[in-house]
Amino acid sequence: MKKAMFSPLGSFFLLLSCLSLASTASTSSTANATTIAKPGCQSQCGNLTVPYPFGIGIGSGCSIDPVFDINCNTSFNPPKPFLETGNLEVISLSDTQIRIKNWVASRCYNQTGGITSENIVWIDLPAYYLTFSDTANKFTVIGCDDFALISGSEGRNFTSGCVSLCSKSEDVLSGYCSGIGCCQTSIPKGLKKFLTSLSTLKNHTTVWPFDPCSYAFLGEQDVFNFRGASDLSDLSFMNRTRDYVPVVIDWVVGKNQNCSQAMNSNAMVCQQNSTCVDLDSSLGGYRCSCNQDINECANSNMNDCDTNAICIDTPGSYNCTCPHGYFGDGRKDGHGCIAVNSQFPVVKFSLGLSFGFLSIVIAITWLYFSIKKRKRFKLREKFFEQNGGMLMKQQISSNQGGVESSKIFTADELEKATNNYAEDRILGRGGYGVVYKGIMHDQRIVAIKKSRIMDESQIEQFINEVVILTQVNHRNVVKLMGCCLETEVPLLVYEYVSNGTLFHHIHKNGGIPWFSWQNRLRIASEAAGALSYLHSAASMPIIHRDVKSANILLDDNYTAKISDFGASRLVPLDQTQVTTLVQGTLGYLDPEYFHTSQLTEKSDVYSFGIVLAELLTRKKPICMERTQEERNLATYFIMSIKENRLFQILDPRVIREGTLEQLQAVAELVKRCLNMNGEDRPTMKEVAMELEGLRKFARHPWVNQEIQEETEGLMSEPSDLYTVQMNSYNTSTTHGEISGQYSLDSGMIFPINSPR
Ligand SMILES: *[C@@H]1O[C@H](CO)[C@@H](O)[C@H](O)[C@H]1NC(C)=O
Ligand SMILES: *[C@@H]1O[C@H](CO)[C@@H](O)[C@H](O)[C@H]1NC(C)=O
Ligand SMILES: *[C@@H]1O[C@H](CO)[C@@H](O)[C@H](O)[C@H]1NC(C)=O
Ligand SMILES: *[C@@H]1O[C@H](CO)[C@@H](O)[C@H](O)[C@H]1NC(C)=O
Ligand SMILES: *[C@@H]1O[C@H](CO)[C@@H](O)[C@H](O)[C@H]1NC(C)=O
Ligand SMILES: *[C@@H]1O[C@H](CO)[C@@H](O)[C@H](O)[C@H]1NC(C)=O
Ligand SMILES: *[C@@H]1O[C@H](CO)[C@@H](O)[C@H](O)[C@H]1NC(C)=O
Ligand SMILES: *[C@@H]1O[C@H](CO)[C@@H](O)[C@H](O)[C@H]1NC(C)=O
Ligand SMILES: *[C@@H]1O[C@H](CO)[C@@H](O)[C@H](O)[C@H]1NC(C)=O
Ligand SMILES: *[C@@H]1O[C@H](CO)[C@@H](O)[C@H](O)[C@H]1NC(C)=O
């Protein structure tokens, strides 16, 4: 058989037999490895098998080019292979890469900063066939007072490096090469030569006791494991899985040409008895592989002849023939060789029968799967239509401005992004569905909401909302990026907001340092601004209908983002109120709306008032563990104002950090928002403006600003003025463990353990 060795592009069978051959050669000393090297050439140097186009012996002609000569130095035992005439010891050779042993640049100091030893490293690879792999290698520097440069040439001159500093050996963590005691940097593609130079900032005088030397080397990043402080005192590769870190070199033959180009320009390097193999790498170049005749019949693993068959070796192949008295194709996975006897016709008949039967089974299976696939496709199409896909497409295309912002995702895309809706991707659950974290193919993180039910009559409304919401572009509103209509229930894709819900931050046990009065005011003001925008500025007013702290999300910078428009309604401009099925969350629900079913934007104002009260008191809207009259935060709050004991229910931190004027003004605002008569409530715009004004209000006139800053976040004792008052009642309002839930979901989302 003419076999193209090391051909990754060869057929599956060829590749397999190549591999099995290679493994026998390296594991068993009796196997003939000569088949891999050029005929007549030595193939083994120590443990290393040297395949063509490499060849053992300088100038022996066993390799394709002197660059690929391997110097097998027999003065070592076992003999050691070196690259060409140099001192680069080869560890392994593969289809595309050479691994050589590395050299570590080092510099050691004495106690007073004098240099006691220094080792500079440079490697210059011969010829354009070899380059340091930019993907497999990293330049690593180890030390606590060091920076090292690697400079070299890859056509363009290049210098790179990294700095590694630390002051205590305890700071240096084993396994972390990230700038403390150890740093790493990449090298450019195509690098052929480099020089490392080590430098120091303070001559190691401050770190000498635990770090007398600095080290730098280029090496295979997956192999080097940083062992922390022990590597600082002595970077010895002893006691590791390997006693060195290899450098990976990519090799090709032929410069910037593929096989057909080389052939056409008469520059083909692959000579007689070798085959040119194209590389799929962007570096260009190709490889030559050796054609050799292998006796496949010698080893039953290398042929598929039936045990009864006779194997005949032919150039480039082999032939399985059945001996006299047998019939069949002689192949193990074919019919093999079957003895001819008196039942000849029966055998033939049953053979034909089983073949026919087999083909029918295969045909049916194929048919079954193709029908199933088609069914699935049809179903998706059906859902797409049923979910208003056509309408949506129309809306989007008729709205030129919205084309970019609103996107229709495919079911496959989202399935992949959520790892097939894996449990560990769930961000939150609620009465309306589940929210998953999704990672799109471009690494963007999104939140994907999978609704539970979808009332068919609401489809048009839903599409309308999606289209309008994708155009709402307010920094305090969670952006809807698009949706997927191919599933039974539409999936909504939102921007991912990372820091959980406001509810979680308010009711978290023990409080959170950043949750200061100023930040609460800011969040309230941001949320109010967003709602006011939805009510008035958007092209058609949108009533959120489910304003609550669990629907206000916080991003990395604790900026508020209103989420969940699942229950929201669009209100045509000429109408100020619509009649709807009452919907909302207990505790936040506007009583007037509850009684009359007349939805106006003032319902949102009421709910927002509750959120404000929550921010002020850190109490839940409804808590069964409070007494009957205090159970509902709205009544509790209003009652406290009326009875002049508001300060008893305010969060101590709010009292500490807010000014009297601010607290009174916000409390007054809450009272107005919670007015039973919707008409008497302020508009969201007024609320937003008032909160914005209060933010700029002067801070505490009687508490020293600096002291306050310092104690912030420690949940320290309230200032003296309030101590007496505070001690007179119990401030603890937390009940059980509250787990923060992330929700883009509307309605009835409750943290675990919180009362419904
Ligand atoms: C190796 O090759 C030699 C000569 O070419 C032959 O005599 C020997 O049987 C072969 N060994 C194996 C295991 O194939
Ligand atoms: C290399 O050969 C030596 C003896 O020649 C043997 O002890 C060692 O295990 C071999 N190493 C590998 C990786 O095959
Ligand atoms: C083999 O290695 C020894 C020791 O490093 C060296 O002296 C000798 O020149 C090398 N031989 C060849 C052929 O490179
Ligand atoms: C450190 O090295 C410097 C320069 O080599 C030398 O002058 C000095 O005496 C050395 N100090 C100690 C403590 O060995
Ligand atoms: C790279 O630097 C060397 C000297 O360090 C200089 O001779 C050479 O021209 C430079 N090459 C390029 C491409 O800039
Ligand atoms: C470090 O050593 C060099 C030469 O040995 C000397 O010039 C330099 O001043 C020293 N720097 C410090 C910070 O000790
Ligand atoms: C390496 O192993 C030797 C003996 O096996 C031991 O004495 C030495 O402490 C070890 N070094 C490290 C850094 O573990
Ligand atoms: C070789 O390179 C030429 C020019 O880049 C290209 O057109 C051709 O498809 C390549 N051939 C193969 C087999 O990659
Ligand atoms: C190519 O192979 C044939 C037969 O296997 C052999 O006679 C010839 O010398 C080989 N040519 C080269 C350049 O190795
Ligand atoms: C294999 O053997 C059969 C019968 O001897 C013959 O007809 C066929 O041509 C052979 N095939 C090859 C590739 O030699």
CATH code of 513's domain: 1.10.510.10
Q: 200 Cβ partners below 8 Å, 6+ apart?
A: 107, 109, 143, 145, 146, 147, 214
* Alpha-carbon distances of 343 from 40, 123, 338, 340, 350, rounded to whole Å: 53, 75, 11, 8, 11
CA of 318 to the centre of ligand 10 (A): 9
State the pLDDT at residue 337.
Answer: 82
Asked if 746 and 564 count as a contact pair (C-beta separation under 8 A), the reply is yes
Distances (CA, A) of 521 to 433, 506, 560, 668, 740: 31, 13, 11, 14, 21
Flag whether 742 is in a domain.
no
Residue 358: count other Cβ atoms within 10 Å of its Cβ. 10
User: 554 with 501: CB under 8 angstroms?
Assistant: yes
> What spacing in Å lies between the alpha carbon of 172 and ligand 7's midpoint?
20
Which amino acids are annotated catalytic?
546
Amino acid (1-letter code) at residue 105: A
Q: Is the peptide bond before 78 cis (omega within 30 degrees of 0)?
A: yes
Indicate which ligand has the atom closest to the C-alpha of 152: 5
Give residue 607's pLDDT.
93
Q: Report whether 530 contacts 476 (CB < 8 A).
A: yes
Distance 35 CA to ligand 1 centre (A): 10
Same structural domain, 532 and 559: yes
Q: Which ligand has the shortest distance to the CA of 57?
A: 3
pLDDT at 30: 30
**Best of 47, 77, 80 for a ligand 2 pocket test (most atoms within 8 Å of beta carbon):** 47
The response to whether residue 263 sits with its C-beta less than 6 Å from ligand 8 reads no
pLDDT tens per residue, range 94-150: 877 899 988 888 899 999 989 998 888 888 887 667 889 988 999 999 999 999 988
| Residues 117 and 72 occupy one common structural domain | no
Looking at residue 158, its pLDDT comes to: 87
Atom of ligand 5 nearest to the CA of 155: 13
User: Any binding-site annotation on 192?
Assistant: no
Q: Which of 210, 245, 280 is the last residue of a domain?
A: 245
- Residues 611 and 678 grouped into a single domain: yes
My answer on whether 652 and 712 are in the same domain is yes
Paired sense of beta strands 407-408 and 480-484, if any: parallel
Torsion-angle region of 691 (φ positive above 0: left; ψ -120 to 50: alpha; else: beta) = alpha
Q: Are 136 and 226 part of one and the same domain? A: yes
Using most ligand atoms within 8 A of CB, pick from 318, 321, 329, 331 the residue to mutate for ligand 10: 321
Ligand 10 neighbourhood includes 314 CB (under 6 angstroms): yes
pLDDT of residue 565: 72
Q: Tell me what pLDDT residue 754 has.
A: 33
Within a domain: residue 371? no
Q: Is the CB of 278 under 6 A from ligand 8?
A: yes
For the chain, what is the domain count? 5
Domain extent at residue 484: 389-495
236 CA distance to ligand 7 middle (Å): 10
Residue 439 lies in a domain: yes
Residue 112 CB less than 6 A away from ligand 4 = yes
Task: Name which residue sits closest to atom 3 of ligand 9, judged by CA.
Answer: 273
- Whether 523 and 476 share a structural domain: no
CA distance 185 to 164: 11
- Sign (positive/negative) of CA torsion 198, 202, 203, 206? negative
Question: In ligand 5, which atom is closest to the CA atom of 153?
Answer: 1
**Is 568 a member of any domain?**
yes
Q: Are residues 236 and 281 in the same domain?
A: no
* Residue 258, ligand 8, Cβ within 6 A: yes
CATH number where 456 lies: 3.30.200.20
Inter-residue contact 522 to 657 (CB < 8 Å): no
**Cα–Cα distance between 167 and 180 in angstroms, integer?**
9
Nearest CA to ligand 10 atom 1: 319
Q: What does the alpha-carbon distance between residue 591 and residue 331 come to, in Å, rounded to a whole number?
A: 84
Decide if 440 contacts 413 (C-beta within 8 A). Answer: yes
Q: How far apart are CA 243 and CA 245, in angstroms?
A: 7
157 C-alpha vs ligand 5 centroid, how far in Å? 6
Low-confidence ranges of the chain (pLDDT < 70): 1-35, 127-128, 154, 237-243, 255, 271-273, 280-284, 289-295, 315-316, 341-348, 386-406, 430-432, 452-465, 467-468, 471, 511, 537-539, 566-583, 697-756
Instruction: Decide if 39 is inside a domain.
Output: yes
- If asked whether residues 265 and 218 sit together in one domain, one would say no
Amino acid at residue number 546:
D
195 within some domain? yes
301 and 279 within one domain: no
Q: If you measure from the C-alpha of residue 258 to the centroid of ligand 8, how many angstroms do you get, rounded to a whole number?
A: 6
Interval 312-342: pLDDT, tens? 877 667 788 888 888 888 888 777 888 776 4
Domain membership flag for residue 394 = yes
Domain check: are 482 and 615 in the same one? no
Q: Give pLDDT, residue 58.
A: 86
Ligand 7 contact via 239 beta carbon (within 6 Å): yes
The answer as to whether 175 is a domain residue is: yes
DSSP 61: S
- Specify the DSSP element, H or E, that contains 251: strand 246-251
Choose one of 279, 308, 339: the last residue of a domain: 339
- Residue nearest atom 4 of ligand 4, based on CA coordinates: 114
Cα 593 to Cα 238, 362, 585, distances in angstroms: 77, 65, 12
Q: Which of 495, 517, 532 is the last residue of a domain?
A: 495
User: Is residue 266 domain-shared with residue 141, that is, in the same domain?
Assistant: no
User: Looking at residue 385, what is its pLDDT?
Assistant: 72
Do residues 540 and 686 both lie within one domain? yes
Helix, strand or coil, per DSSP, at residue 327: strand
